[in-house]
A and B are shown apart, each in its own frame.
Chain A
Amino acid sequence: MLVVRYLFLTVAILVLSATLLGHSLRSQMEAMSVQNGNWQTTVNAGSADAGTMLRAAVALGGLLASTREDSVYYIVETVNGEPLRLDCDYVLRGGDYDADWWSVTAYAWDNYLIPNDYKRYSYNNENLIRDADGRWEIQVSVNKQPGNWLPTGPAASANWHKFSAKDFDLLLRLYAPGQEYLDKPASASLPQIHKVGCS
């Protein structure tokens, strides 16, 4: 009887610890992230001064992240507070950014690249189709679109594993970024995302 009681207590402690950890990770990430429009960036992923909770969150969602001096990552998971969804189409518009190179990659909610027949997972500063002024737009949609198109899903992982409100997200990588991204992450120049419509 005593054994059963201790077993029950241990399981209860483990379950509650994991639940509390999940909650703490979310709130810590929010506290340590900087918002720039719909984009978010974390100011010390990968560095030695990352706290216990941030290090755990990075290990789960972005293992082997570089320091900000090497690369800056911005993620968009929501547009005007609404999580990115497969039944909505979005458009990303931009120009050029101060970095040695940059790319925009779509990831499914499971943190992996999204399966598609075209093996189209990302665009970078050299392979985007641009207008005469160097401006570009990417159609972000499940369905094939003319011009620059990033497929959004569905994910390869089974849906019952899904643990987030978003169906996918977009990650902007800026490698060897300019000083603006290190000093003013909340106001540095970034592409703009808009919702086109939902089915």
Chain B
Amino acid sequence: MPVPDSDVAALETIALDKRYRRVHALSECSFSLPSGRIAALAGPNGAGKSTLMDLIAGIRRPTGGEIRVLGTSSRSFSGIHPDVSYLAQRKPLYRSFTVEEMLKAGHKLNDRWDAEYARRLVEQAGLTPKAKVSTLSGGQRSRLAIAMALGRRPAVLLLDEPLAELDPFARREVSHALLDEVRNQGTTVLMSSHIVADLQGMCDYLLCLVSGRLVLDGPVEELLGAHRVRREPDLDGAAGSTVSPVVEAAPASPETEWRAPTLEELVLSRMAPPPHGTYVRAVSS
């Protein structure tokens, strides 16, 4: 894995645009993700998360704009950028292969493949080399798929709904294993999910897409600090209940009835279609 230059963004998009015939899937999407960050890519279904992932992974071509990985334009490569690895939501693994054969496939298909590292990740996951992929549990398949993605020694790891279809125990196990590894390796991660609760506590950077447009972009702490949830009476006027309208940018002089939102509240507030807005339920006092 190349050593990232701290001055160069690990992943940068400039006015990225994608159209599917008449549908605008992604519009003028620009962001700059610093190296070593674990970024959440949030947004409702159909917001353009998978399209953005596909474009960065080189599976689809952008209609306009540019993608840069460690300062190198993705246009220089016909497929995926060599410093990017992609783990799709369905955990693409050949069912008839054994774990060992999957690792061999990774080795055969990649110019840069760390066989020792991939094997260590598989061993840490407790996977038997001779076990068939079809016999693995959901959590085990996820661990193998992560090993396959990290075996390329990427500078940027793209994870599309990595915890989807996993039970709560497997979610915790997989997310811990994944985060430990990418933090140790200094890998930059872009992780998509429409379940914001999955992202809370895992990510230190947030990108939020709504209807193909980037509506939030920045470090999580900064974004949360810049917003407040306002407590107000229930829409029905019931006493004691606290239903707050959309999270708003923090006012210059904070008032007592304002508090910092959670990541989930912040993201949900941006998913609301105008003009009604999304009402975020705040904690009752």
Chain A complexes with chain B: no
Using a CB–CB cutoff of 8 Å, the interface residues on chain A facing chain B are none
Which residues does B use to contact A, with CB under 8 Å? none
